Structure 1
Amino acid sequence: MDVRILRSEVDGKATPPPSKSYTHRAFIAASLSPSALVENPLFSDDTLATLKACRFIGAEVTRWKDLIAFRGVEDVESSGYINVENSGTTLRLFLGILSHSKRICVIDGDSSLRKRPNRSLALTLNKLGAKIWGDYDFKAPLKVCGIVTGGEVSIRAESSQFISSLLFSLPLAKYDSEIKVEEVKSRPYIDITLHVLEESGIEVKADGKNFYIPGEQSYSLKTFSVPADFSSASYLIAAGLLAGRVEVLNMSDSRQGDKRIVDIAKQMGGNVRWDKENGVITAKQSELEGIEVDASDIPDLVPTIAVLAAVARGKTTIYNAEHLRIKEIDRIDGCYKNLRSLGIEVEKRRDGLVIKGGSIRGGTVDSFGDHRMALAFSLLGLVAEEGVTVKNAEVVSVSFPGYFDVLKNLSAKVEWIKS
């Protein structure tokens, strides 16, 4: 379905959903631990795909409201076929896990996921003892068979998910391992992985771009409480900056790199205050100024920054974001097309965007089947003279179920349109 957001003023309090990145990782660690509880996880399309994969490897999963109990597996002995839909995180993290099964598994995804390359990860796992078959770029579907035994490898990681996959997999290997990363992108997501591994009793020695992982370790996660998601919070913060006042709740400090949205908003002249003691971020309508943003560690914030830049005075340059081209869609191209469709002056570069802000008359933008496109660009309807219609807006359920209801509760004018 499509959704139309009309010019309106927002005011109120809102709580973002739990972290998608932490939920994926907590589910995996719990499924490899004897007995674990995950509190306050995100239930979304992507994380449910990971939960499905946990069951696929043999974990017993029981849900009570916002609590999930796991009885994990000691040995991965999966076989058969699993479709993880649109979740690239699930596919990549489980490539490493399924590389411990002696039986053949096939991991697949939807049409979008089948376009995403996994070559560096698959070749690295093969060097470590796994057997993974696919096309040249190792796009889904992939045939996987173990067993990873460990060793020393170098990898050029186009995605931090490749490193996280190895970090989850190699503690289970027979021998010690060392990963030398040629280039680290989105480092905060690796830090989230290291945090969950630490909570699971897994030893990893991280030294800059190098990671040393002892073999023959066992997962022992007990209880893990998932924090709020800063990527999702960025849309609520942006709503306040654009069109009123929003208090974002449950925002304690975190290892999530996307907490940088607070500093970026301040650099743009935004009236934002973060009360870390009480976990409240308050964002008020502000006159924004263009800035330069290095997006190497914050790819998920780029659509939000692009939306703020669209109304900011002057020029905003977003750079070091070339890894956005291999997300659910080419997000650099997606942002470019949506900004152009709303009449915003924008230049597309190999690694980012240059955006000159201005007034927005309104129009139609496309989600392109990408949740972050729908979440971010819907916000421009709050300030557009004629509102903004987002095509295929239901895709927000990938990371922020109920998003448009949250906007409605903040007094935004939201209309669903049957497409």
Structure 2
Amino acid sequence: MGRPLRVGIAGLGTVGASVIQILDRQNEVVAQRGGRPVEVVAVSARDRAKDRGFDLTGFTWFDDPVALAKSADVDCVVELVGGSEGTALETVRTALSLGKHVVTANKALLAKHGLALAKLAEEKGVSLAFEASVAGGIPVIKVLCEALPGNKVSRLYGILNGTCNYILSRMELEGLTFAECLKDAQRLGYAEADPTFDVEGFDTAHKLAILTSLAFGTQVDADAIYVEGISSITPLDLSMASELGFRIKLLGVAERTETGIEQRVHPTMVPKSSAIAQVMGVTNAVTIDADAVKELTLIGPGAGGDATASAVVADIADVASGKAEPPFGRPVGHLEKAPRAPMQRHEGGYYIRLTVHDRPGVAAGVATRMAEAEISLESILQKRSEVAATQDRHGRSGAPVPLVLITYAATEAAIRSAVEKISGDGLIAEPPQVIRIERE
């Protein structure tokens, strides 16, 4: 075997510690796969005194990750610091500039600076590997880069955030509110103290930006993604979805359309019969629709120390073997700047929940507005009020009740226009709920 690949790890949180432990117990296998030994020679973290379950005395310690990246004793820098700017960016940029390989799990960094960093890696002839940046232990990046060159991808969609999937799963199965499930997710460590990045869809958007580039050969364009989170989802929406044969998932969707590459993150109703509807808890899943393989679904752990570290170690083994492929599957100069498909032009089925006043003519007024917007309705469900004491001779109470509409394919613009007019007519008592439907 050749000279060892000397690795420096910047960031010794759960993932960084797991990388060291996996490399220790799988050292022989990794060496065989890479054709040479892999040695962790240097580490960097904020707290040197923290007990991480293993002895740090065998590694050179750096208080500053950038100094680790500059070390002449390090061939490959593993960046696990996190964040799209500051130390993480400077560490990766420094390492690549000095001709060192980089392995990272940093989706935010790649979503914002991926193209510039990939170009630098190509110029220096080194690797920039990021399997761990999307879907944890699921090897979706390797599948897109290495396994599907004979395919033209038409659509890619998936559950890319375990926190959101856990919350929606608990809400559905136990009838809990969003707030109750979020609090429990924070207690269990699935959600941060400030959960905004996860529950409002931004984490999923960063991951989707990376996958879109790999799937369609386009430049990373995180700003093109329409983003909507799950905080407005109620137990009623989940129970209605179930009654209609659907489940609600936060999906990241990238799709080739006539107007460009459509990228969107939002709560989505998926048929219960679909593979992705079966994915519950913190598990992630990605489905790829392509011409040759038709539909390919990958399911597995989307986060956690060992799962993410597994992806990091796979990249380290590739670096050891001498692979230095273009980071985004194609040279940066060949990545197209795809036209953005405006969300207003998205076309599909919709679930619309309106809280209407339980009185004659309301449903007809809603249906009229839908017809004016040329929206065809597949079904209408109205839940009657249980306030019997105030019901009139028609059995109507006048109290707010849910009216649920399922549409056939319609544009986002038409749906928004119709809902706005219904609101203006004074037919609804609360803001409407609009959820897109993703068919198989």
Q: Under a length normalisation based on structure 2, what TM-score does the superposition of the two structures give?
A: 0.23
Q: Under a length normalisation based on structure 1, what TM-score does the superposition of the two structures give?
A: 0.24
Decide which structure has the larger Cα Rg and report it.
2
